[in-house]
């Protein structure tokens, strides 16, 4: 997830002619986070990404993205900025550390209403054994008020890397590659890019 933040930070800081492009991914979710066979992490599918000032068909009140991973402002059809992606990154991290979706409900409407209010059970309640430092990162990233979240993806990345160093021992690309190899041996299934008939440019395997 720290590498996801790195990718988002790059997109958020992208400029054109010296001016910020204001890119917001708007669909950060497990389906759009890929791990390559060499252990590199990629944030993919900027298909609904929005750049400030760009003309497009999206109107106020019209929702795009996956409900389970939206920010409250996005779920309410309001204007979004990079802090919306930070919230969505927090929801993915929540799912990874608890095994549950934060806004899961019996139907989509209830899930949407919970998302709009940032109504979720704290991760440390769902997983009592969760590191307090990790729980703090999730809770800060998923604040309803964007001003109370991390100010940037780079700031969230720094917090995650600090936890990795002090609580877990930093995991890098080599560890991710070994993890993927172990998964392949356990499941008896090679990565997507190594399967017969796989597109040459699909050199990643999905997580989530």
Residues in the chain, total: 208
**Are the beta carbons of 152 and 12 closer than 8 angstroms?**
yes
Residue 32 exposed, middle or buried by CB count within 10 Å (0-12, 13-18, 19+):
buried
**Are the beta carbons of 142 and 28 closer than 8 angstroms?**
no
Q: Looking at the chain, which runs of residues are DSSP E strands? A: 15-16, 19-20, 23-24, 33-36, 41-43, 50-51, 204-206
Residue 196 exposed, middle or buried by CB count within 10 Å (0-12, 13-18, 19+):
exposed
Q: Quickly count helices (H) and strands (E) in the chain.
A: 8, 7
Is residue 145 annotated as part of the catalytic site, yes or no? no
Tell me the H-state helices in 46-172.
72-75, 82-98, 108-116, 123-126, 132-141, 153-163
Catalytic residue among 17, 27, 45, 85: 27
Catalytic residues, which ones? 27
């Amino acid at each position: 997830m720290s590498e996801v933040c790195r990718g988002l930070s790059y997109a958020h800081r992208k400029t054109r002619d010296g001016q910020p492009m204001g890119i917001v991914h708007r669909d950060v979710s497990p389906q759009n986070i890929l791990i390559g066979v060499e252990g590199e992490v990629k944030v993919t599918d900027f298909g609904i990404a929005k750049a400030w000032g760009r003309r497009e068909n999206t109107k106020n009140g019209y929702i795009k993205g996956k409900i389970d991973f939206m920010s409250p402002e996005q779920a309410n059809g309001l204007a979004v900025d990079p802090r919306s992606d930070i919230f969505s990154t927090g929801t993915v991290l929540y799912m990874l550390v608890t095994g549950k979706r934060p806004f899961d409900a019996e139907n989509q409407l209830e899930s949407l209403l919970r998302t709009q209010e940032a109504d979720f059970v704290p991760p440390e309640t769902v997983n009592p054994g969760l590191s307090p430092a990790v729980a703090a990162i999730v809770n800060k990233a998923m604040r309803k008020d964007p001003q109370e979240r991390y100010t940037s993806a780079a700031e969230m990345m720094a917090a995650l890397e600090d936890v990795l160093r002090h609580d877990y021992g930093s995991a890098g690309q080599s560890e991710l590659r070994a993890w993927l190899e172990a998964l392949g041996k356990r499941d008896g299934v090679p990565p997507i890019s190594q399967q017969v008939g796989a597109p040459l440019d699909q050199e990643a395997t999905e997580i989530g």
